[in-house]
Structure formats: structure tokens, C-alpha cells
Amino acid sequence: MKTKYLIIAFAALALVGCSKEKDQEEAPKPEQATYVGTVTVVSNGSSFDNENIEVSFNPSESGDSCSLTIYQIRFVPQMPVTIDVTIPGVAVAVDGDKTVLSCDSVVPLAMGGEYPRYKVTDFKGEMVGDEMAFSLNFGSSPTSFRGTRKED
Amino acid sequence: MSLRNFAVAMTAGFLLSALTLLTPLNDTVLTEVTVTAPKESVSVGKIASPVTVVRSAELESGGIYRPNDLSFRIPGLHIPDYGASLTSSIYIRGLGSRMENPVIGLYIDGIPVLDKNAYDFDWEGIQSVTMLRGPQGTLYGRNAMGGVLSLSTLSPSSEARSSMFLEYGTANTCRVGLSFLNASNVFSATYRHGDGYFDNVFKGAPADPYDGLSLRWKWVKSASDRLFLTNVLSAGVCREGGFAYGRYEDGVLSPVSYNDEGGYRRLSAIEGLRLDYRTEEFVADAVASLQFLADDMRMDQDFTPASVFTLRQQQQSAAATVELNLRRADNAASWQPVTGFFAFYRHNAMSAPVVFKREGIENLILYNANANIPDEIGYLTISDAEMPVLSDFVLASWNAALFHESVFRSGDWQFTAGLRLDYEGGLMDYDCLTTLHYRFFPTMSADKACTVAYRGTADHFGLVLLPKLSALYEASDPLKLFVTVSRGYRAGGFNTQIFSDILQQMMMKTLMKDLGVYLERPSSGVEASASEYDPESAWNFETGLRYRKQSFSADASVYYMAVTNQQLTVFPPGQNTGRMMTNAGRSRSLGAETQLAWQPGDFHSRFSWAWCDARFVRYQDGNNDHAGNRVPYVPAHTLFLGAGYIFRFGGCSLAADASLAGCGPQWWNEGNTLDEPVHLFLDGRLALVFPQWEVYLGGGNLTDTRGHSFYFKSVGKEFFASVKPRIFTIGLSVKL
């Protein structure tokens, strides 16, 4: 009987061990996703909304960093062109249901290369459920985004 | 010569006709029995359509050796002489365009010439030229909506003798030709060299030199009492400059001045075999031909001393046609049916690379792109010295048709009813590629290649019905009246010359997307759908009269044509570089044509006049509504007034001929904002004629009248082609 209880105890222990390992493997990894929302740019003291802007969240292999590409953004209403801007090297940290985005100052990529004119500073952001929000300074222009995940 | 002279000429023409009516008509009798149209079951004099016949003597005295020379002599026919031999723009009755399918059918000894690029050639040994005006779709099918031009060459059975000539003239123009006849063969050849009439001031050399050789061998054989064979082998080669266009700016026309190569080379051959089989009941006429054309056009497409962009277009086309007509042998029967089958297939391999040179890259591509990018963002550069847009096409077209036409005679009446069913198709395989190396400053540290390929297939096919109804009434022996309703159509096709614009547009979109830069207002571009255009069709309602009495003939007709999908050559808006065919919604032509000929004794004269009011009924080009405007390039009037007299002196004679001919006014664009006034040109010829030979002096445009034969825009700049200046020739003709 003792032997029987011992086997059951080992089996239970093994199961608990397996379950714990499985839990570690299945920790949610951020996935590539596109969000659609509004980018608000404050330029020369007045704010300007870019509606229906797509932001692509592109995680790295390890999932601990990502790049964010903002498509067809305009920094001032008079700008005759829109441009795609990519913010590289954004750190990703999963905190429960929340994914926290952060980075130090970084030179964004635009028009085929680095674009120091709109250096990114004060980047803060998070993703909760289907929502994404972040704020930063593009050069001297405070900019923020709030959007919803676009269905595939 | 302008409007006043035009009025004087018109008055003189009518005076001539009035004088004719007051003159006893008992001199030379005009004969029409030697002239036949290729497919009609009745003689030319009984065709219920207006017909013009120009015989060999008139061709000779008028110095006519190319289709262009028939302009104005045939009422309403305008074939402007500009560009190069592939241009072949033909306008008649408000129809016509300078690209793609022709508006009239061309037949040489009953063999159709399929390729419009071969419509302009020098001929020798022509017995007569017959032009049936108005849609002739029922018997001749596609592209005969303006009419049919039929050339009959000398036959061994004709009374003509072997002959040769040598001619020299202005601009070192030298022509030599011969026709040799024996019992069953006719061999004709003609060669022309000319230094050209316009200088390219940038190169300090003639812009339009010409060398061309045309050869024809005709073999006629009676295989039996019933079977007659005719084989006609025609070939031609030409090498020429061309595109003598001067820039028009602020009301001033500059001389021709372009830096890149411009010219045209062509090798063409048509082998046609005709079998006539006659029984007591029917005549079967079978015609088969093989046609080959290889040409090479080089064009400085900006026509300026700047290195902007060039086009080289090379084609190798081969085609086969087959036709069988059956008609009744008894010409006197009251019912004259013609039933036939026609088919052709044409294959054309074309290469048409457009090369954007450095100034073209700077001005057409970079300027447009950077104009929309704010300075504070940056600017685009392209490092390539040249950007070739490679375009290769395989074009195929085919047609199969069944037709029937019945002519019923009853007393003084003759009724004609006909119907043709055409199955028409076309296919284009396109393979276009372009690459450039770009860099955006200040963000990119090195050049990056951007390649755009555009490949695919387009096709179209459909059925076309071409009916005809007509009635002809013999009011008296010399006078016939007719009324005709008929439909014609011109095949649709593909706009190969617009692909460089499509590629350029795609390249800019790809490049900007690659950069992540999007223009708020993209430049107006050419969509890929513009690479096709639709068939054009027209209903023609016409009535006229024909009067023949001895040495006098008169023809007059009035017509109304309702045109659907009129094909126009247009330039896409903006800084686009190509040109393309498009379809105007609807247009209509209202016109009148008349021709008088009088040949009493040693005097001969011809008067031809046509009036055409061709306007758009519905045409919105995307920016402007052109309804009510004149169809461009179509002259409102054409006029020819010619006369000659033979002074006889014992064993020789002096033949003097003079003519006044021209057209106008005509409008150069769809908006009718630019027009060309009436221009008339005085030509003359004096020949000292002996039984075996003659020597002659000729002159063209003797008053050295200045005018324009062509206008167009390229990348927003305007250009004109001028008419040829005064020309003198001296020649010797010998009959062997």
C-alpha cells in the first residue's frame, strides 16, 4: 500500500512538473499585428489628427523587442506627402494582460534610411487586448497613437 | 494661297463646269469598260457609290507616283505628306487617324495590303487607280469604312509598251523607273533618291533624305479556256530620314532641330496569286497572298536638341490572306449575286524600347517626383545615365468573313442588297521591363535598384455585321441617280506606344512605395486599361448622281455618316510621353463631293471638290467636353482644279498641264483652339513629246506656299511639320 501511495505521489509530482514546464512554454508571445487608429501630432503648438492610420507591430524572433511602422503619416496638415516611419528597437515586456512598450531615444527609419530629423524620444506605450496606445516625441513634435487591432 | 484664292479656284471650277455644259460633247468619248473594281459584280459605272478613276495618262501628267499624290484629286481624300513612309495618315469624310488601322482599304491587282505601314510606297507601271468612296464594308470588310483604293497594274494584255524614265529635281531628287512587258510578264521597278527638303539645323544635315526601291513582277497565264492565273510579287525597300518637325513656341515656328537619330527602314513583300475559273454558269475568283514586312523606326521623341527620350520600334510581321468569290457568268442577267469568303491571319513581333536619357530622367521623372516632396523631407536622385523601358510585343490579329451581295435589275432600276458577317479578333502579349537606381537624400547612403516588370496578355474578339442597301436609277442614258445605306467598321487594337508611360507610372509608384512616400495628388497617369481601344463603326447614308456623256463626266453626292467609337490619336494629359488611340463617343460627318472631267480633243480637265463638316456629337476626354467641335486633322474642304492641253506640231507635241490643289481649313486639336487656313498649291508640267520619247519639266508648289501638314504635342511642347517647298524636276521618258 505504501508503495502504491509512493508511486501515486511521484506521478503527481511528475505531472505537476510537466504542467509547470508547459506553462513556461506557453507564455504568450507577442504576435505581428496591425492596428488602425488616430495619430495626433502637436506641431507649433497646435494638434493635428491623422485618421485611419495603420501601425504595424513587428516583434523580433525572441519577442523581447519590436519595430513599429506608422504608415502614411503627415506631421503637419500642409505636408503634400505622407510617409512611412519605422521606430526600431522598441522593448517589449509582457506584464499579465498588458504588453508594455518602451525605448530610449532612437533614430527612426524613413525614406530608405535613418531619419534623424524626427528622432524619437520619450517613447511609452502599451497593448491591452485589442488596443494599442503609445506616445513619443518625433523631433520636437509630441505625437500619440491610439488604435484597435485590425482583423486579419 | 489662301481663302481668296480658294474662292477664285472654286469659281473657276464652276465656270469650267458651266462652260462644259454649253459645249458640244462630240469629241473624245470616255471609256469605262477597262476599269473594274476588284469585287463588284457590275461595272464601275453602275456601282451605287461615288467612284473616282485616275488613268495612267493622268498619273503621268500629274507626276503621281505615290498614294499621297492622289490627295484632293480624289474628292475628300487627304493623305498629308510628313513624318516618314510608315506614317500613312489618311483622312476622308471625317474619318482617319495617323496610327494603327487605316481608314481605307488598299488593293493592288485585287490583293489586299494589310499593313498600313506599307501604304506609302512609290509605284511604277500602274494602269489605273480606282477609288470607291464611302463605307465598302459589305464586300471589302474591315477598314474599308472610308472607301477602297484599288490599283490596277499593267498587264501583258494591255496596250501599254515597255518604258523607262529618268528624272532629276530639287534636293538632288533622282527617280528612275522602268516597266518591261512581254507575252505573259510585266516587270516594273522604280528607285528614288532624295537629299530631303528640310535641314536638321542641330546636325547640319538634311532631316529627310530618302532612298527607296520598289519592284513588281506580274505573271499572267491562261492555263486553259476556263482557268486564268495571275501572280503578282511586289517588294520594296526604303531607307530614309524623317520626322522633320519644328518646335512652335510663342507663335514662331523654329527649324527642325533634334539631336538623336530619326529615320525609318522598311523591307516589305507581298506575294499574291489569283485564280479565275470561268464556266458557263459562274466565275470563281480566288485570291491568296503572303505578306511580309520588317521595319525599323528610330525617333528622337522630344524632337529637340536635348537628350530627353528616344523610341526605336522594330517590327517583323507576316500575314496570309485567302479569299474566294463566286459570281454569275452571265453579266446580262437581271440577278447578279456575289458570294464570298475571306480570312486572314497576321502575326507581328514588335520591339519598342523607349530610352529616357539624362535630361529626360531629370526633367520628366525627377522633376515631377521632387516637385511634390517638401525640401525639408529630402529629394530623390537617379544615378543612371539612361533608363531604358524595354517593351516587347507579340501581336496577332485575325478575321474570317462570309459575305453576299445581290444586284437586281428591273427596267431602269438596279437594287443592291448585301450582308457581311465578320469574325474579328486580336491578341497582344506584352513583356515590359525597366530598371533604375535611385537614392533618397539625406536618408539613403547608397543607390538602390528598382525594377518594374509588366507582363500579360490582352485580347478581344467579336462579330460584326456589315449590311448594305442601295438603289440606282438610270434616268437617261448618261444620267444615273443612286441612294445607298451602308455600314463600315475599323478594327480595334492595342496601344503599344503607351506602354512606356504605363511603365514609367508603375516605376514611380513602386519607387515611392519602396521609399514609403506617398504623394497627396499623384500625377495624372495612364492606366493599363488604356492599352486597348475599340472598333470604330459608321453608318453611311448617301445619295448622288453620275453623268457621262462622251468626253464629259460629272459626279456629285451628299452623305451623312454617323460614327460610333471614332478612333482618335491623342496625347495623354500631363507630362506623359507616348501617344495612344482612344475612342470618342460619337461623331458625325455631313458632306458633299463632286468631280467633273472634260476631255474634248487635246484638252483635258478635272475639277474635284469636297466639303466635310465632321464634328463630335459626344466626346468627353476626361477633362473637356468636345461635343460640337470639329474632328481634328480633317479638312473642311478639298479642292483640285487641273487642266492640260496638247499642242501638236507635226511629228511632236507639247503637253502643258497645270493644277491648283489644296485643302482647309482644318483643326489641329480636339478643342479646336488651333487651326490651319486654306492652302492651295500650284503645280505644272511641260512635256515635249515624240513618238518614242518625251522630255518634261515639272514643278510642285510653284508659288512656294507655306503651310503645315501636321501638328502635334510632345511632353507639352508643340510641333509642326511644314509642307514641302517649291520643287522643280526635269525628266526623260522613253517608250521601248
Tell me the shortest Cα–Cα distance from B518 to chain A, in angstroms: 5
- List C-alpha distances in Å: B13 to B73, B594, B641, B660: 13, 11, 7, 10
Tell me if A111 and B518 make a contact (CB, 8 A cut-off).
Answer: no
Section A16-42 average pLDDT = 71
Peptide bond into A116 cis (omega under 30): no
Does residue A21 register a pLDDT over 60?
A: no
| Count of C-beta atoms within a 10 Å radius of residue B691 | 9
The verdict on residue A39 lying in a domain is: yes
**Structure ipTM over 0.90, yes or no:** no
Does residue B371 register a pLDDT over 50?
A: yes
3-class DSSP state of B708: strand
Tell me if A111 and B521 make a contact (CB, 8 A cut-off).
Answer: no
- CA dist B98 and B144 (Å) reads 16
Tell me if A112 and B443 make a contact (CB, 8 A cut-off).
Answer: yes
Tell me the shortest Cα–Cα distance from B426 to chain A, in angstroms: 41
- List C-alpha distances in Å: B722 to B110, B574, B591, B631: 35, 26, 27, 21
Tell me the shortest Cα–Cα distance from B516 to chain A, in angstroms: 5
The verdict on residue A46 lying in a domain is: yes
pLDDT at B5: 52
Residue ranges of domains in chain B, CATH in brackets: 3-735 (2.40.170.20)
What CATH number did the domain enclosing A45 receive?
2.40.160
Least confident of A46-60, B212-226, B569-583: B569-583
Give the residue from B576, B569, B113, B500 showing the smallest Cα distance to B313. B500
Does residue B416 register a pLDDT over 70?
A: yes
Does residue B634 register a pLDDT over 80?
A: yes
Q: What range defines the domain where residue A92 resides?
A: 33-149
Contact A92, A66 (CB under 8 A): yes
Tell me the shortest Cα–Cα distance from B369 to chain A, in angstroms: 11
Tell me the shortest Cα–Cα distance from B515 to chain A, in angstroms: 4
Give tens-digit pLDDT for A64-95: 999 999 999 988 888 888 899 999 999 999 88
Interface test with A, best of B508, B518, B521, B523 (most A CBs within 10 A): B518
The verdict on residue A12 lying in a domain is: no
Angle (CA) B331-B336-B339 rounded to 5° is 120
Contact A38, A51 (CB under 8 A): yes
User: Using CB atoms, which residue from B444, B445, B519 is nearest to A81?
Assistant: B519
**Total domain count, chain A:** 1
pLDDT at B218: 97
pLDDT at B500: 85
Q: How confident is the model at residue B39 (pLDDT cuts 50, 70, 90)?
A: confident
Reading the block at residue B539, the C-alpha cell is 453608318
Give tens-digit pLDDT for B563-576: 999 888 887 666 66
Chain B residues close to A73, C-beta within 8 Å: none
Least confident of A43-47, B267-271, B608-612: A43-47
pLDDT at B224: 94
Chain A residues close to B517, C-beta within 8 Å: 81-84, 111
Contact B188, B155 (CB under 8 A): no
Chain B residues close to A85, C-beta within 8 Å: 516
Helices H, strands E: what count in chain B?
6, 40
Q: How confident is the model at residue A8 (pLDDT cuts 50, 70, 90)?
A: low
Least confident of A83-97, A98-112, B29-43, B161-175: B29-43
Residues in chain B: 736
User: Using CB atoms, which residue from B443, B514, B518 is nearest to A81?
Assistant: B518
Does residue A18 register a pLDDT over 60?
A: no
- CA dist B520 and B516 (Å) reads 13
Which residues are CB-neighbours of B500 under 8 A, at least 6 positions away? B311, B352, B354, B389, B391, B577, B578
The mean pLDDT value of chain B amounts to 90
Give tens-digit pLDDT for B463-478: 999 999 999 999 998 9
Which chain B residue is nearest to residue A82, measuring alpha carbons?
Answer: B518
- List C-alpha distances in Å: B463 to A109, B135, B399, B405, B537: 57, 18, 10, 19, 12
Q: How confident is the model at residue B14 (pLDDT cuts 50, 70, 90)?
A: very low
Does residue A17 register a pLDDT over 80?
A: no
Pairing of strands B354-356, B387-410: antiparallel
Tell me if B515 and A111 make a contact (CB, 8 A cut-off).
Answer: yes
Contact A120, A138 (CB under 8 A): yes
- CA dist B173 and B268 (Å) reads 23
Does residue B13 register a pLDDT over 50?
A: no
pLDDT at B35: 56
pLDDT at B479: 96
Tell me the shortest Cα–Cα distance from B383 to chain A, in angstroms: 16
Q: What pTM was estimated for this model as a whole?
A: 0.86
Section B189-217 average pLDDT = 97
- List C-alpha distances in Å: B382 to A58, B192, B357, B377: 31, 46, 11, 17
pLDDT at B26: 37
Tell me if A81 and B516 make a contact (CB, 8 A cut-off).
Answer: no
Does residue B481 register a pLDDT over 60?
A: yes
Strand partners, B586: B564, B618
- CA dist B49 and B134 (Å) reads 7
Which chain B residue is nearest to residue A118, measuring alpha carbons?
Answer: B377
pLDDT at B63: 93
- CA dist B46 and B509 (Å) reads 61
Give the phi and the psi of residue A61 in degrees, each rounded to 5.
Answer: -55, -45
The verdict on residue A6 lying in a domain is: no
Tell me if A79 and B373 make a contact (CB, 8 A cut-off).
Answer: no
- Burial call A76-111: b when 16+ CB within 10 Å, e when fewer: eeebebbbbbbbbebebeeeeeebebebeebbbbbb
Peptide bond into B442 cis (omega under 30): yes
Give tens-digit pLDDT for B302-345: 999 999 999 999 999 999 999 999 999 998 899 999 999 999 99
Does residue B36 register a pLDDT over 80?
A: no
Give the residue from B153, B121, B110, B111 showing the smallest Cα distance to B290. B111
Q: How confident is the model at residue B270 (pLDDT cuts 50, 70, 90)?
A: very high
- CA dist A45 and A68 (Å) reads 26
Residues from B in contact with A at Cβ < 8 Å: 372-374, 376-378, 439-440, 442-445, 448, 514-521
Contact B506, B522 (CB under 8 A): no
| Count of C-beta atoms within a 10 Å radius of residue B673 | 9
Angle (CA) B458-B463-B466 rounded to 5° is 135
Tell me the shortest Cα–Cα distance from A78 to chain B, in angstroms: 10
B88/B479: higher pLDDT: B479
- CA dist B584 and B690 (Å) reads 55
- Burial call B494-519: b when 16+ CB within 10 Å, e when fewer: bbbbbbbbbbbbbbbeebbeebbbbb
Instruction: Specify whether the backbone of A141 is left (phi greater than 0), alpha (psi in -120 to 50) or beta.
Output: beta
Contact B325, B39 (CB under 8 A): yes
Does residue B427 register a pLDDT over 60?
A: yes
Pairing of strands B147-153, B105-108: parallel
Give the residue from B136, B73, B64 showing the smallest Cα distance to B105. B136
- CA dist B509 and B526 (Å) reads 12
Q: How confident is the model at residue B24 (pLDDT cuts 50, 70, 90)?
A: very low
Tell me if B374 and A117 make a contact (CB, 8 A cut-off).
Answer: no
Section B481-493 average pLDDT = 94
Tell me if A82 and B520 make a contact (CB, 8 A cut-off).
Answer: yes
Give tens-digit pLDDT for B659-711: 999 999 999 999 999 999 999 999 999 999 999 999 999 999 999 999 999 99
Which chain B residue is nearest to residue A109, measuring alpha carbons?
Answer: B443
User: Using CB atoms, which residue from A80, A111, A117 is nearest to B516?
Assistant: A111
The verdict on residue A11 lying in a domain is: no
User: Using CB atoms, which residue from A72, A81, A113 is nearest to B373?
Assistant: A81
The verdict on residue A103 lying in a domain is: yes
| Count of C-beta atoms within a 10 Å radius of residue B175 | 21
